[in-house]
Structure 1
Amino acid sequence: EESETYINEELEIIAIKEKDLAVLNTILFYAKNNSAVDVLLQIDDILPSYISHISDRLGHYNIKAFKNNDEKSPNEDTIYMQNIFSDRLEIMNVLLSPIKLEKDILVHKFAQLIYWGTMNKSYAYPVDWSKYFNGYYKNRSIEAIGRYLSFFNDTNKLQENFILQKEIKLEEETTKTQKIKTLVKKSEFLDNEVLQSAYLLGMLSSALMNWQYGVSSNSSYAKWLNNSGAITKDSLDRIWKKSEETIRKLNSTSGKGNATVNQIKELVIETIPKALLYSGIVKSSFVSLAFAMGGSDYTKHIKEEKNQEENR
């Protein structure tokens, strides 16, 4: 049996056995080196209260520490800590010790999850943005990232609690422009013009891919974006220019405009000049996450059927 699964199961067994006991447990993670024993990690805590609490919260958000490849009927909606941490010791340290994660570090892990699906390079494969925006990657989706983040907030594991977006009711908004503005306004994460522009460009990119697939059954824009590397502050202008070029070509090819694309485009026009002039430092991982949020929100909140999307 894999050591990761063994650790996971043993912790669950301990939590059950010591449920109502006030016990001080010491958990040692070690490696044997000939006759010597190297202690890699030591965790002392009053257990099982803390283990039980962590186990309960993991279950609440349908998160597991490690994936058991031998599991006969795995839950497809389960997400795994091993996808955002380098090794099992790091996971155990984060889950069971008083350590608190920095916001920058966690957002970096989320960006790596989006781009590669895992921190394990042996199993990593690059993102296809068209698939990402249409929900193909459940384990690296914005919904999955939101669950990770809720868990860390819930268990007081962050130096600074934060959320991506407040719960909102878009039914009250009568136009798509109003819906998009509300989505941006209600997001605490999109706190500067660069992140707002990245979000809107993600939304525009998702809309363009869908429009282009509808017109020609393929998307040269999606292929271009997949080969463009990481989404950073410096790449926003390049993405914007490619978007404008693609819109002109699609208008010519289809003989029609696209109302939704045009509405998103107008919002980008309002924000992109400020983003390009923004003098503050915005880390690439934040820009990548904002871009992924925008494209995902287009599919979730804005996208409609083809005959509703187009106008003359």
Structure 2
Amino acid sequence: MKLIHMSDIHLTAPGKTIGGRDPRLNFERALTDILKCHHDAELLVITGDLSDWGDRDDYEWLKARLESFPVPVRLCIGNHDRRESFLGVFPDHAGPGGFAHGVHDTAAGRCLFLDTVLPESHAGQFCEVRQQWLGARLSEHPGPFLLFMHHNPMPTHLRPMDRIRLLDDAAFRDIVGRHRDKIRHIFFGHCHLPLAGSVAGVPASSLRGTNHASFPVFAETELLSASDLPEAYGVVFLGGDYVTVHMVEFGYAGPIRIEGSTDYKAWDRETMVR
């Protein structure tokens, strides 16, 4: 099975830019690249920060755009989103307690979409109500599961980023740990960075968004960092006993050299002079 992981699309009003980049245009470029190379994907999941300001117009535009997209799509919300506005446009994503939770079955397992939004904060929350929902979903089904969420559920050790992490991360990891044998992978966004690790023994990964990028400046202890690295989305392959995750930098505009071609000669180890 193949699925696409996308995050942090940060849609804005037409013509508006973030860091000199047009989020709507870059989102369109990502969709075009996906249809060119991965039209056979079973599912596309966008893990939050759908809108940069949580504007209803952004959600309405997104819904209209995705209605014609041939790959099924599921959405999570992030710290830049507004839950009420989002659910007003995507009522099918509403879950118990008024949260934007969801469940979707795929060939590789049952997908759970988690709401980690803490209103009026860039940090995330997974309160007791949400913890009970996740625990119940993991208990009622034999799995396997794939979890999708916005906020990072483990420390990045970048101090500015970790101040806006999932604040209930220890409680979240406790739930995951109790069901680790049934959870294949956890996908998250928020950090605008390619990240890989584990959460209570479960593999986890993140990636750059489709617009602006961050950079891991470990010496900076107060302020978030930005860079001009290429825009990206993820391609995930799931087999019976493995998960492979790629970050596709569709925003890269430089050369790609194919072995055997003329422009590959300088890279050819068979003919390279030491």
TM over 0.5: no
**Rg larger for:** 1
Q: Which one has a larger percent helix, Structure 1 or Structure 2?
A: 1
Normalized per residue, which structure has more strand? 2
TM-score for both structures, normalised by structure 2: 0.25
